[in-house]
Amino acid sequence: MQSNLKFNVVKNPDIKSIFDSFNQFNILIIGDVMIDSYMWGKVDRISPEAPVPIIMSTKQENRLGGAANVALNVQALGANPILCSVIGKDSKSKTFHNLLKKRNLTSEGILEDENRITTVKTRIISDNHHLLRVDEEIDTELKKEIETKFITEILTILSDKQVNAIIFEDYDKGCITPEIIKSIVDFANKNNIPTLVDPKKRNFSAYKNVTLFKPNFKELIEGSKIDIKKGDFEGIFEASQKLHSELSAKYLLITLSELGVFISHNNSFQTIPAEIRDIADVSGAGDTLIGTASLCLAAGLESDLIAGISNLAGGLVCEKVGVVPINKDQLIKEAIKKYS
């Protein structure tokens, strides 16, 4: 094991040219989409019926969430996202399609299934404090008939369009299955399309032969079954090597929250510390990070830049309340300041 080896860090990259190159890319995003619903209000009394706060609602809003938020981040960085998912055939599916239209996102890869419901996460917020979340969802795997139809739909899009990277955004809601993973990864590898994965527990071990695998620390220790502390980078490297071997992934990008990110490749690793931020809400940071990483990978960047720019992007959105996409101009300024 050569865990003491570090990547050669790229000096003075042309950040502006890198971000300009994003504008030419098509990124396919496969995964669990949802509606992020927000209720804002003010709490100034406790209920006489139970010891719970009463919120006087002042504003409500629906936003695209889950894999759809990854698409928004890809779009915000200048690229063209193609979103592929299965939603319900219900009143909320109409809301979802309207939200896509409002954000100028195509619905060509969205299938409706009358046996499912459209996932909605409702967050109740007062004075920037997240009080409660209510989830409406079905998280069983797709039935075989809709799974086959979904695979055909994705492969048709991949055959008809030039796709520069594929993201699997897995929230364990059942939209991604082992058969979908295998079919799409096989096609991608035959056609030299990089694949990136934001995994969850259910399909963790099914993502074999992908280009970049991005678990968080908790998912890493559960998936590798190695008991390590978050700051033990040698231990994290050992766990990453185990996953590299099991999944045959080229890159392993591990998010470590307040400790930044860790990326390993070719028996070496690099750690990128977190930037000091005024954290308001960590919701959606992982979506931003994987979306940014897909464009960095499509642009052919070195490992340290993939991790570094993605880490900057994930940190920036944590300064905003709620799930919001990255601001490209702000990210460019931060990247220039860090790398120039």
pLDDT digits (tens, 9 = 90+) for 79-128: 999 999 999 999 999 999 999 999 999 999 999 999 999 999 999 999 87
Helices (H), the chain: 15-21, 67-76, 91-102, 144-160, 178-190, 217-224, 233-247, 285-298, 303-317, 328-339
Q: Mutual orientation of helices 285-298 and 67-76 as an angle, nearest 10°?
A: 50
Q: How many CB atoms within 10 Å of residue 122?
A: 16
Please confirm, yes or no, whether 287 is among the known catalytic residues. Answer: yes
pLDDT digits (tens, 9 = 90+) for 254-266: 998 888 889 999 8
Q: Choose, from 32, 36, 113, 287, the residue flagged as catalytic.
A: 287
Select the more confidently predicted residue: 256 or 164: 164
Instruction: Give me the mean pLDDT over the 322-340 stretch.
Output: 82
Considering the segment(s) 15-41+55-339 as one domain, its CATH architecture is 3-Layer(aba) Sandwich (3.40)
**What pTM, to 2 d.p., does this model score?**
0.90
What are the domain boundaries of the chain?
Answer: 15-41+55-339
pLDDT band at 132 (very low <50, low <70, confident <90, very high): very high
- pLDDT in the model for residue 275: 72
Single out the residue of 59, 55, 67 nearest to residue 132, CA to CA. Answer: 55
With H, G, I as helix, E, B as strand and everything else as coil, classify residue 316.
helix
Average pLDDT score over the chain: 89
Q: How many CB atoms within 10 Å of residue 326?
A: 25
pLDDT band at 6 (very low <50, low <70, confident <90, very high): very low
Give the C-alpha distances (Å, rounded to integers) separating 208 from 85, 106, 231: 21, 29, 27
Single out the residue of 35, 104, 30 nearest to residue 322, CA to CA. Answer: 35
Instruction: Give me the mean pLDDT over the 47-58 stretch.
Output: 94
Instruction: Give me the mean pLDDT over the 140-159 stretch.
Output: 97
